[in-house]
Amino acid sequence: MDYPVTGIHHLTACAGGAQEDIDFFTKVVGQRLIKQTILFDGRYAHYHFYYANGNAEPGSVMTTFPYKRVNGRPGSGQVQCIVYTVAKGTLPFWVDHLNRHRVVHPGIHQRFGQPFLHFAHPAGLEIEVIEDPDETRVGWSTEEIGEAESVRGFHGPLLSVREIAEEETFFVEALGFRKTGVDGVYHRFEIGKGGAGKTLVLLHEPNRPSGSWGFGAGTVHHVALEVADDRALAEQKGLYEELGYTDCSEIKDRNYFHSIYVRSPGGILVECAANAPGGFARDEAFNQLGRQLLLPPWFEHRRTEILSMLEPIRVPDGHGPVVEPATIAASRRADATFIREETEALTT
């Protein structure tokens, strides 16, 4: 049977301060800031930052909400760790780079025969860089990190679960992953050709108390998987319902992509996302991505009010200065087009 999911699309986490998050992801991890926008849900404005590789590809997109209002509680039933691939032989560079930034790490370890380095974001988010000899994606260069050493995108997240079996059934039967290995407490699942960007690893932690599910600084909120288009989203929603995962959301308009969300049996929120026409370059030129705060068309008329709720930020050199707000043609949220009438109706 063919499944709609093709690999990882993005990971979304709650950070702490906005500036420390930008500095960490652009200078320490070395990703490209590709979008400054806001969280689309709720009564209060929060930044929503998108970081990615040089080509702003799905499978490399890390998104964060700086969210100081509440601290998250790390635990099982959560994405435990954000794992990026780097080229073979580059971990000694990363040891030096992290040392230069006074980022604590326990040295190089291995999982499934691949060496990796584990470290943490200032808000506590856990991050790894893992060597992958088959990685071919294009990274992003910074003053300190050359293209050869750069992170290329996600390998795949580590998901902490108390029990493997139900989560395994979910990823295999509902999403089309296949189990490709066990290494101690790690259970690896891959989709398509597997490898970087097409891998999930369950971390078996049977005695670890559950982590928080809501937004909270220092925790990853969800993992998003890529599907081709709205038709594939509708197909995936039908697959969930056929198998009894009936709490799948309606299709939501995330401006740059359309999404459905379902809570997996192990507690981890799983999104499926289909790029909207134009993707991340739909409201700013590709070579200008991330240089200014952009709002979705349905929030543009509230720009002044929204800006008053956000802390000032400075985008590091190499990502360009923050310039005048973008001019976006007025349109309404209902302008998003979905393939099914009932999902269109839910967005009006």
Establish if 57 lies at the interface with Fe ion (CB under 5 A): no
By CB under 5 A, residue 264 contacts Fe ion: no
In the complex, the smallest distance separating the C-beta of residue 126 from Fe ion, rounded to whole angstroms, is 18
Q: Is 37 in the site for Fe ion (CB under 5 A)?
A: no
CB of 299 to Fe ion, least distance (A): 17
* Beta carbon of residue 298, minimum distance to Fe ion (angstroms, whole number): 18
Is 7 or 117 the residue whose CB approaches Fe ion more closely? Answer: 7
Residues 296-335 that bind Fe ion (CB under 5 A): none
What is the smallest separation between the CB atom of 133 and Fe ion, expressed in angstroms? 30
Cα–Cα–Cα angle for 329, 330, 332, nearest 5°?
130
Span from 110-118, 265-273, 278-286, 319-327 in contact with Fe ion (CB under 5 A): 265-273
**How many residues at the interface with Fe ion, by CB under 5 A?**
3
Residue selected from 3, 7, 12, 84 as contacting Fe ion according to rule CB under 5 A: 12
CA dihedral sign of residues 53, 59, 61, 64: negative
To the nearest whole angstrom, how small is the minimum distance from the Cβ of residue 9 to Fe ion?
8
Cβ proximity to Fe ion: between 87 and 273 the closer is 273
103 or 224: CB nearest Fe ion: 224
In angstroms, what is the minimal distance from the CB of 12 to Fe ion?
Answer: 4
Closer of 271 and 284 to Fe ion (Cβ): 271
Does 79 participate in binding Fe ion (rule CB under 5 A)? no
CB of 321 to Fe ion, least distance (A): 28
List b or e across 196-215, with b for residues whose CB sees 16 or more CB atoms inside 10 angstroms: bbbbbbbbbbeebeebbbeb
CB of 94 to Fe ion, least distance (A): 27
Looking at the Cβ atoms of 150 and 219, the one nearer to Fe ion is 219
Kindly state whether residue 64 participates in binding Fe ion, applying the rule CB under 5 A. no
Q: Does 135 bind Fe ion (CB under 5 A)?
A: no
**271 is an interface residue for Fe ion by CB under 5 A:** yes
Given 29, 224, 227, 248, the residue binding Fe ion (CB under 5 A): 224
Q: Could you tell me the smallest distance in angstroms from the CB atom of residue 41 to Fe ion?
A: 11
Q: Give the nearer residue to Fe ion in terms of CB position, either 10 or 121.
A: 10
**Distance (Å, whole) CA 21 – CA 48:** 11
**In the range 136-195, which residues lie near Fe ion by CB under 5 A?**
none
How would you label 245-283 residue by residue, b for 16+ Cβ within 10 Å and e otherwise? beebebbbbbbbbbbbbbbbbbbbbbbbbbbbeeebeeb
Relative to beta strand 219-227, strand 269-275 is parallel
Residue 203 or 223 with smaller CB distance to Fe ion:
223
158, burial (CB in 10 Å: exposed 0-12, middle 13-18, buried 19+): buried
Compute the least distance from the CB of residue 271 to Fe ion, in Å: 5
Scanning 192-200, 222-230, 242-250, 333-341 for contacts with Fe ion by CB under 5 A, the matching segment is 222-230
Residues in contact with Fe ion by the rule CB under 5 A: 12, 224, 271
